[in-house]
Amino acid sequence: MNVDLQQQVEELQRQLADSESRLRAFLSFSQELFFCLEFDPPVPTHLPAKDQAAMMLSARVADCNAAFAELCDVSEPDQLTGSRYVSLVGTASSTLIERALRFVRSGYCVNEVHNTDTLRDGAVRHFISSSRGEIQGGHLVRGWITFRDVTHQTLIEAASQQGEAALRRTAEQLDSAFWIMDWHNFKSLYSGPAIEQRWGISPQQLLDDPMCWLERIHEHDRQRVRDAFLTHAATGGFDETFRVNLPDGSVNWVRDRCFPVPGTTDDQLRVVGLVQDVSELRRAQTGLSSLFKVSTEMLFVMDVNGCLQEVNPGMAQALGYDSEELNQISLLDLLHVDQQSAGRQVLSRLASGKPAVEMNSQFLRKDGSVCHVEWNASPAGDAGLIYAAARDISSELTEQDRRGRQDAAAARLDRLSPRERQILEMVVTGKASKVIAHELDLSKRTVETHRANLMKKLKLSTTAELIRLSLQAAD
């Protein structure tokens, strides 16, 4: 029995690890940078803010995604595990302590702060960052940080204040895949040479016709991108990923972002575009999408309010819905009424940037029956989304109940003496007291006395109950 229990525990651990690996796969492809710092030793929150800030400089990287690893010039996120954060950046300690002070004084929760950092190679980068602290037992044990790189936008905006020539020089120095447009006159002002690599059109073509790039967009994406560009480019809301048909017949995936830069006069407005090749990332995401579709576990994406944004077929099948139906409800709608309060607490934790692991809940199937699930969830950067993986443990609970009944029955039978146990085994086979007495060379009265004693010990009143208990112990 102990061997079976150990095997069951090992299987549960394997399935949990598999669930966590799927969740990490979701997060690994995020275009935002995120990492988790672990404070060792934990920082007592009762200390003065300056003392807490000083202790935070010893923080080490506990986890991160591929985007952060790339920023630190390493190939795999695991290579950064255990590294001191201060060793990964060239930012002065005094600046880091100042940020830590702001973090403490904000209640260990900072949103959308502009920071400037110097990397180990000397490069200066600008980021919009948010951070959340995790408090346990009056100590700050870890912090979750997300970064959004706004270096190009920051430097372009600064250069625009110095005039047209400075704007062009900065664009050329930063990244040749820039383009700049005079929005009011709808005229191209600058097009970097890498535009040809990204689009298959020359910079001169773009200068002659600022909308010629639309012709290169895949026909299934073209109208969507055109409408979004004309509607949102001048407001900073244009951020689209789409396919581009190159002259050699190949297809690239690019991410095109626009942000407005005010001109030197009130009637001037420039729109700056940054084009990135995201083909490799898209291929990785395509593989992840396949995993999402074929997984037998329940995988889903929701917003911070619990509204489901995307579910995989495994979840729809397990709960008896189709995917479209699930995408119109929230996590709280799926939870049993007795668990909705706890569900709100979990969503609140996730909304604050903290993961939720090893949650046990009762999801309601479409037919009203209960599906017992174990699930993990984690927020993904500043996207406002939460990625979750769950698995149906109803059968495991049923098996646990069966084993529990079996163990309880066996424990009751262990109270019997060897002779009482011997007589019980003969009774459940249907033998009468006279037959039992003959086979055991006992008197009938002695057998009946043993029968009465064992029934009393087991707190049973009928032979049928005795048979049922014996079967439970042997199941």
What local confidence, expressed as pLDDT, does residue 22 receive?
47
Question: What is the rounded distance in angstroms from the CA atom of residue 363 to the CA atom of residue 361?
Answer: 6
Q: What φ, ψ does residue 277 adopt, rounded to 5°?
A: -85, 115
User: Residue 454 pLDDT > 50, yes or no?
Assistant: yes
**What is the three-state SS of 317-368?**
HHHCCCHHHHCCCEHHHHECHHHHHHHHHHHHHHHCCCCEEEEEEEEECCCC
List, for residues 253-288, the tens digit of each pLDDT value.
888 888 787 665 666 788 888 887 777 766 655 555
Residues linked to residue 461 through DSSP beta bridges, in sequence order: none
Question: What is the rounded distance in angstroms from the CA atom of residue 43 to the CA atom of residue 455?
Answer: 61
What local confidence, expressed as pLDDT, does residue 114 receive?
83
User: Residue 10 pLDDT > 70, yes or no?
Assistant: no
- The per-residue pLDDT of the chain, averaged, comes to 78
Measure the CA angle with vertex 34, ends 32 and 37; round to 5°.
170
Averaged pLDDT for residues 126-147: 84
Q: In what order do the strands lie in the sheet with 124-136?
A: 60-64, 33-44, 139-149, 124-136, 109-118
80 DSSP 8-state letter: G
DSSP 87-139: GTB---HHHHHHHHHHHHHTTSEEEEEEEEEEBTTS-EEEEEEEEEEEEETTE
Other C-beta atoms within 10 Å of 358: how many? 10
Question: What is the rounded distance in angstroms from the CA atom of residue 146 to the CA atom of residue 131?
Answer: 6
Residues linked to residue 125 through DSSP beta bridges, in sequence order: 117
User: Residue 217 pLDDT > 80, yes or no?
Assistant: yes
Question: What is the rounded distance in angstroms from the CA atom of residue 38 to the CA atom of residue 403?
Answer: 40
List, for residues 293-336, the tens digit of each pLDDT value.
767 788 888 888 888 888 888 888 889 888 788 877 888 889 88
Is residue 41 reached through a cis peptide bond, with omega within 30 degrees of 0 on the bond before it?
A: yes
Which of 375, 402, 395, 394 lies closest to 386 in space, CA to CA? 375
Higher pLDDT, 86 or 6: 86
Q: How confident is the model at residue 399 (pLDDT cuts 50, 70, 90)?
A: low
Q: How confident is the model at residue 28 (pLDDT cuts 50, 70, 90)?
A: very low
Q: For the chain, how far is it from start to end, CA to CA, in angstroms?
A: 12
Higher pLDDT, 292 or 460: 460
What local confidence, expressed as pLDDT, does residue 25 receive?
47
Question: What is the rounded distance in angstroms from the CA atom of residue 79 to the CA atom of residue 87?
Answer: 13
What local confidence, expressed as pLDDT, does residue 397 receive?
63
What local confidence, expressed as pLDDT, does residue 30 receive?
46
What local confidence, expressed as pLDDT, does residue 186 receive?
85
Residue 410 structure tokens: 């066996």
Q: How, if at all, do strands 60-64 and 356-364 pair?
A: unpaired
List, for residues 88-104, the tens digit of each pLDDT value.
776 777 788 888 888 88
3-state secondary structure of 167: helix
* Residue 204 Cα to chain centre, angstroms: 44
User: Residue 171 pLDDT > 60, yes or no?
Assistant: yes
264 DSSP 8-state letter: S
Q: Which stretches does DSSP call E strand in 124-228?
A: 124-136, 139-149, 178-182, 187-191
Q: What are the structural domains, with CATH classification, of the chain? A: 32-149 (3.30.450.20), 153-277 (3.30.450.20), 293-392 (3.30.450.20), 398-474 (1.10.10.10)
**Going by C-beta distance under 8 Å and a sequence separation of 6 or more, which residues neighbour residue 402?**
475
Which of 123, 119, 174, 127 lies closest to 150 in space, CA to CA? 127
Which of 337, 335, 332, 391 lies closest to 361 in space, CA to CA? 335
Question: What is the rounded distance in angstroms from the CA atom of residue 51 to the CA atom of residue 37?
Answer: 18
What local confidence, expressed as pLDDT, does residue 143 receive?
86
What local confidence, expressed as pLDDT, does residue 374 receive?
84
Higher pLDDT, 2 or 262: 262
Question: What is the rounded distance in angstroms from the CA atom of residue 218 to the CA atom of residue 199?
Answer: 11
Q: How confident is the model at residue 34 (pLDDT cuts 50, 70, 90)?
A: confident
